[in-house]
Structure 1
Amino acid sequence: MTHVDAVAERGRRGRRAGGWGWFLGWLAVGACGATGLATVVSAGLALALVAAGAAGLLVWRGPRNAIAGLATGLAVPLLYLAYLNRGGPGTVCHAVPGGQTCTDEYTPVPFLAIGCVLFCAGFLLFATLGRRADTAA
């Protein structure tokens, strides 16, 4: 391997490592945006504005393939909903000091299934687009 090839390989590795940071940035934007849309009545508007501003910055400065992290970020609130409803479907009661408290829970399966698909799709898309960029360079 010549010196030029070694420098090019180090540059590709650096871009790949830096790409993961951009991917995580998009993941945070997706999670923030999805949570903002889900909670639009309370703090959702502020979260949506933060997500929009961060997305503008990431589009302006980041690599294009990192936008796949947005899909992975959209999965975060869905996976959290699946976790919160893990005792469902139906009425779930828990013992508390002085009695019990009951809540109605949804079935977690749809939240879990869609969340897992989005989570995996974002990672696979990012890896695929990253390999294409490496082979094109």
Structure 2
Amino acid sequence: MRTSMWPWFCAWFLVGALASLALLTVLTVGVFLLPIALVAAVFLATRRGRRAGLAGLVSGFGVPLLYVAFLNRGGPGNVCTTTATGQSCVDEYSPWGWLAAGVVFLIAGIVLGMVLQRRTPLR
């Protein structure tokens, strides 16, 4: 990607990550994060040159999915942790679906950005 596209890509990437995190946590803090993501998206959408890094939105959407995969890396099933003071057990999901979805979004955004860059003439 051209150097002028990276700031836009990163800005849209952050908005995508925030929106995805808001959707994943909608029953807790997501209710408060979603308006912030929407305001940021509107702010970026009203700027000149906004389309340059719009593909970052797709890539950013995959980051919270990768984090969920990381949190469930011991799963699927009941995972117990023993410490000096006791034991705690947590039921974890399979990380493979989350990992696959996160990687697909991350790579799709990068590829889309490269395709759009080739179609956009130099200014």
- Give the structure-1-normalised TM-score: 0.82
Matched, 1:67 2:65: no
User: Aligned-pair distance for 1:56?
Assistant: 0.8
Provide, for residues 97-122 of structure 1, a one-character-per-residue CA deviation record: whole Å limited to 9, x for no partner: 22211111110000000110110000
Structure 1 vs Structure 2: percent identity of aligned residues?
46
CA–CA distance in structure 1, aligned partners of residues 27 and 76 of structure 2: 25
User: For 1:115, which of 81, 102, 109 is the aligned residue?
Assistant: 102
Please state how far the C-alpha of 1:72 moved relative to its aligned partner: 0.6
Residues 19, 63 of structure 1: 8 Å contact kept: no
- Aligned ranges for residues 1-137 of structure 1 at < 5 Å? 16-61=2-47, 62-134=49-121
Q: Deviations over 1:40-86 (max 9, x none)?
A: 22221221111111111111114314111111111011000000000
Aligned length: 122
Cα deviation 1:12-56 (Å, max 9, x = unaligned): x9xx22311111111110111111122122221221111111111
- Give the root-mean-square deviation of aligned CA atoms: 1.6
Question: TM-score, normalised on structure 2?
Answer: 0.91
Amino acid at match of 1:46: F
Runs of 4+ in structure 1 displaced over 3 angstroms?
none
Give the unaligned 5+ runs of structure 2. Answer: none
Letter of the structure 1 residue corresponding to residue 61 of structure 2 = L
Higher Cα radius of gyration: 1
Residue pair 2:13, 2:59 contacting (<8 A) in 1 also: yes
Higher relative contact order (CA 8 A, sep 6+): 2
Greater helix share, structure number: 1
